[in-house]
Amino acid sequence: MVRWQRFAIEDVTDGRRFSHRLKDFNNLPSTEFRDVILRTGGTLRLRPPTRSDADAVLGFFSQLSERSVYRRFHGFPSIRLETVEPFLDPDWEESGSLIGALSVDGGGERIVALASDRERAAA
């Protein structure tokens, strides 16, 4: 079972980093979310990504710096739909994923963070 302890979020708009402790996001239904109030007064919505988020996650990856892509993927893959699919619809047994989204004018949202983890095989 994937257990979330702590992860850092980097704001792609200004490069500031902050971290937040999350406990027991396991089995969070895709329709539920947690809101985190940011120091700036904004709200970051944390929720599991679904198939309908594929284009938005793809857009998020395309905005990352080369360094961030290299560190996230341990190399320079082509960022395409196949790159995004492992993060969508987490099962919370072998893998877990959360996206962080900010509200945008017009009622939509923009993904600004993605945290993920995979169950590690026993040694």
User: What SS3 string covers 67-97?
Assistant: HHHHHHHCCCCCCCHHHHHHHCCCCCCCEEE
Tokens of 16: 């500031």
* Cα distance between residue 63 and residue 70, in whole Å: 13
Q: Has residue 18 been placed in a domain?
A: yes
CATH number of residue 105's parent domain: 3.40.630.30
The total number of structural domains that make up the chain:
1
> Cβ contacts of residue 123 below 8 Å, gap of 6+?
none
pLDDT per residue, tens digit, the chain (123 aa), is 444 444 445 444 455 554 444 444 555 565 678 888 888 888 888 888 999 999 999 999 999 999 988 888 888 888 889 989 988 988 777 778 889 999 888 888 999 999 888 765 554
Q: Do 36 and 20 form a contact (C-beta atoms < 8 A)? A: yes
Q: Which residue segment(s) compose the domain that 47 sits in?
A: 6-118
